[in-house]
Structure 1
Amino acid sequence: MPRLRSLLPALLLGAGLSLLPLQASFAAASAGSDPMYQADAPRAYSMVADLLIARPLLIAGTALGAAVFVVTLPFSALGGNVEEAGDALVIEPGREAFVRCLGCASGYQR
């Protein structure tokens, strides 16, 4: 009997893990398996994670990038790449923080 108690959970776990690909194919079929549908309609958990985790980090990254941009501005001006430095340090994080839709992967195309 004790051997059955230790074997039964292992068998149930193995059966559950072996059914994961089948469950994924059913989920893809029910969602229409259209990547644009999933990009246009993000799930609630991705919106919550975006709101509570990603947006504050992106806003902090934008502020930090602005500070780094101001400090390195003389060197960027001497090198002639002020626009590139501004885009990389301030514009791109700011665009991701404030323009991107809630829960979406990216808000713009290059």
Structure 2
Amino acid sequence: MSKFARVFVMTLAVSLMGFSSLGYANPVEEEPSAFAMTADALFARPVLLATTIVGGAVYVVSLPFSLLGGNAKEAGETLFLGPAEATFVRCLGCTQSGRKQDTVANTQ
């Protein structure tokens, strides 16, 4: 595996670990239907995962320019963190990011 691939995978892993705790701050009180869950699992999540991967790659490529421009944090939030949160910190079929309320109550 190339050095770039190792760095990218490590960055992705650290980000995902960080997102596991973000969901507790924003409990979701939605009741998605079976159709919403199926559509989310088959269509939305794969598209959001691809968006997260492409956004991460674009962020890495644009990082020198965003550092010079002083907006590296905003670029990272827009290109990588936003799609990653929508992909990984959202209940299946829900429209808002966060964990289900009963899941948050059981873990505390």
| TM tier relative to shorter chain | 0.5 to 0.7
Give the TM-score, by structure 1 length. 0.62
Deviations 1:28-65 (A, max 9, x none): xxxxxxxxxxx611100000000000000000000000
AA of the residue aligned to 1:102: L
1:52 matches 2:42: yes
Residue 54 of structure 2 is matched in structure 1 by 64
Residue 103 of structure 2 is matched in structure 1 by none
Unaligned runs of 5+ in 2: 1-28, 99-108
* Aligned Cα root-mean-square deviation (Å): 1.0
- Please give the secondary structure, in 2, of the residue aligned with 1:49: helix
Q: Distance in 2 between matches of 1:106 and 1:73?
A: 29
Unaligned runs of 5+ in 1: 1-38
Give the TM-score, by structure 2 length. 0.63
Q: Distance in 1 between matches of 2:82 and 2:54?
A: 13
AA of the residue aligned to 2:41: L
The one of the two structures with greater contact order (alpha-carbon pairs below 8 A, sep at least 6) is 2
1:76 CA drift (Å): 0.1
Greater Rg over alpha carbons, structure: 1
